Structure 1
Amino acid sequence: MQFTTPIPIPKSHHPIGYGSKIVSLGSCFAENMGNKLDYFKFQNITNPFGILFHPLALNKIIQKAIQQESFTEEDIFFHNERWHSFDVHSELSHSDKTAFLENLNSNLVFLHNALQESNHVTITLGTSWVYRKIETDTIVANCHKVPQAAFKKELLTVSQIKESLLEIIETVLAFNPKANLIFTVSPVRHIKDGFVENQWSKANLISGLHEVIHATDNTYYFPSYEIMMDELRDYRFYAEDMIHPSSLAIDYIWKRFAETWISEDAFLAMQEVDNIRKGLSHRSFNPESEQHQKFLESLQNKILVLQSKYPFMEF
């Protein structure tokens, strides 16, 4: 499948197993990897505040969650008949003000507890380009279709990225010393910023990340971006928009991640989960037949055996 020699990635000494608890945060590629962890029934939560593209947005929401700084009315605004927060993705926006604040703060508690219990925190950075709200002189996570004149577009420097990442690492490890932080750069190209500008953005992220990882403990780099650019050099690895990775590319990058970060003990259970999920999605031509009833019984027995080992699994 690949067109060059595979990028060498050292096997983790702190692998992810079914006893691990994982938090996946970041850009839309974090959702892709989180979906894979969910598919195989790992104990994982993904982006409770929606997709967050840049390190400052991730740092802000992590700090709020760990320090239990609740959202207040000052943190939200009304636009286009919905309530929004510049700190979270628009998928959380709501027509009801009270419900919106309640959702935000319940998600803060959820993320606080997840970070406290996690063994692994994966953080996917998407871009160095950010938007600063001119009126408040603050960098936002999402513009929520507020007119562009209200913002100033900026490129984060390597120093700004390093400072933000160090705050994330120090805060998470002080809160949960057993956590392993896995950083990666999203292979999704932000072409709307421009082709040259996208590369500049990714270069700043990669430079900042490597400088920080080499200077800190419990931090690791997984080369999602490099695998996409250097191993998967073919248009079939891109979706129809020619920007996002195709399902084939996502499967391949997941395979490389699993080879290096998933414990060998987990692979047998992953195969069982896969078989069960495929069985559950099977549609029989004759659901009432004896053969199909035996198939369902066998499937239920497999589920019970797996749940006896891993009670948290639900099918």
Structure 2
Amino acid sequence: MNFTTKIPIQKSNFPIDYSSKIVLLGSCFAENMGEKFEYFKFQTVVNPFGIIFNPVSLSRIIEKSIQKDYFTENDIFFHNELWHCFDVHSELSNPDKNNFLISLNKLIDATHLQLKDATHIITTLGTSWVYRNVETDKIVANCHKVSQKQFTKELLSLEIIQQSIESIFFNISVINPNCKFIYTVSPVRHIKDGFVENTLSKAHLIAAIHQKIGAKTQNTNYFPAYEIMMDELRDYRFYTEDMLHPNQIAIDYIWIKFFENYIQETEFGLMNAICEIQRALKHRPFNPNTERHQNFLSSLETKIIKIKEKLPTIQF
């Protein structure tokens, strides 16, 4: 007897392996997936400019990185004892103005190279609701706790979202024509916008993605993370205490669905070996000086050496 609706997932026609270079961009769910890739020691970059929820802001920061359009003093502002930038996440904010600009522009250079070298770009869109700065008339990635009076709230149209997705695809393809794209919609519910409004927001994202990837099936895929959460995991036991974010069980489940269909099956054995090492590294003995534990450490070191012989880039 089956107690859940299974979401059909088509296997990727450009699966990921350990030679792949993966860049994950977008919402906090991109961070969840990035942690999984990092755990299994894939070559991964996650949100160099921090979490970005909406497609317009994501498109803008990618375009700046591709074109090496560096930040200037006009792009930053001082608020609550820190320098901020409306195009990046608050985690990058800095009390020193010069250091802030230097760090942002170093990220521009680093992200340019990462996008140029990437084999797979995984983009997770979070919301169609955006905040527009009244003074500049620009959509911001983060409000940085600036007074809400300085912003107007609006819902992105399908056309604008499609343009943003197309811009991401086009700009990256200019410097990296062989890159593959995986799009997904975050399963996190943005209930602060309202229940109906959250559904409308996700619907806009899903519709825009599917309209844009339809003509690019050779190098684009859609992974149904949102649909898995809404149907296969339709139960509050799969949410964190806020009842909005998927909990670790749900994240693990969605990850399994992803790697079963988007990672080369020949890599599964190596992933299992790395998982064994990761678990062993977390082991904390009661008596570390015993012969048994020393043998355990010796065996673990041998396993690590064997992995590094296959993949010299891996660090534990």
In the superposition, the TM-score normalised over structure 1's length comes to 0.98
Paired with 1:161 and 1:195, the residues of 2 have a C-alpha distance of 21
Q: Does 1:269 align with 2:270?
A: yes
Counterpart of 1:27 in structure 2 is: 27
Counterpart of 1:36 in structure 2 is: 36
Counterpart of 1:233 in structure 2 is: 234
Counterpart of 1:257 in structure 2 is: 258
Counterpart of 2:185 in structure 1 is: 185
Counterpart of 2:304 in structure 1 is: 303
Q: Does 1:48 align with 2:48?
A: yes
* Secondary structure of 1:122's aligned partner: strand
Counterpart of 1:141 in structure 2 is: 141
Q: Residues 3 and 132 from structure 1, CA distance in 2 versus in 1: closer, same or farther, beyond 3 angstroms?
A: farther
Paired with 1:225 and 1:74, the residues of 2 have a C-alpha distance of 37
User: Alpha carbon RMSD of aligned pairs, Å?
Assistant: 1.1
Which aligned pairs between 1:188-227 and structure 2 lie closer than 5 A? 188-216=188-216, 217-227=218-228
Contact kept? 1:3, 1:232, Cα under 8 Å: no
Contact kept? 1:26, 1:123, Cα under 8 Å: yes
Counterpart of 1:10 in structure 2 is: 10
Moved over 6 A (4+): none
C-alpha displacement of 1:55: 0.4
Listed as ranges, the gaps of 5+ residues in structure 2 are none
Counterpart of 1:165 in structure 2 is: 165
Which aligned pairs between 1:91-170 and structure 2 lie closer than 5 A? 91-170=91-170
Paired with 2:166 and 2:124, the residues of 1 have a C-alpha distance of 15
Identity %: 58
Q: Residues 160 and 5 from structure 1, CA distance in 2 versus in 1: closer, same or farther, beyond 3 angstroms?
A: same
Supply the AA of the counterpart residue of 1:251. Answer: D
Listed as ranges, the gaps of 5+ residues in structure 1 are none
Paired with 2:240 and 2:64, the residues of 1 have a C-alpha distance of 35
Supply the AA of the counterpart residue of 2:67. Answer: Q
* Secondary structure of 2:52's aligned partner: coil
In the superposition, the TM-score normalised over structure 2's length comes to 0.98
Contact kept? 2:14, 2:219, Cα under 8 Å: no
Supply the AA of the counterpart residue of 1:260. Answer: N
Contact kept? 2:12, 2:221, Cα under 8 Å: no
C-alpha displacement of 1:88: 0.2
* Secondary structure of 2:161's aligned partner: helix
* Secondary structure of 1:23's aligned partner: strand
C-alpha displacement of 1:4: 2.4
1:31-69 CA distance string (max 9 Å, x none): 000000000000000001000000001100100111111
Supply the AA of the counterpart residue of 2:258. Answer: F
Paired with 1:79 and 1:193, the residues of 2 have a C-alpha distance of 25
Contact kept? 1:3, 1:233, Cα under 8 Å: no
Contact kept? 2:76, 2:83, Cα under 8 Å: yes
Supply the AA of the counterpart residue of 1:292. Answer: H
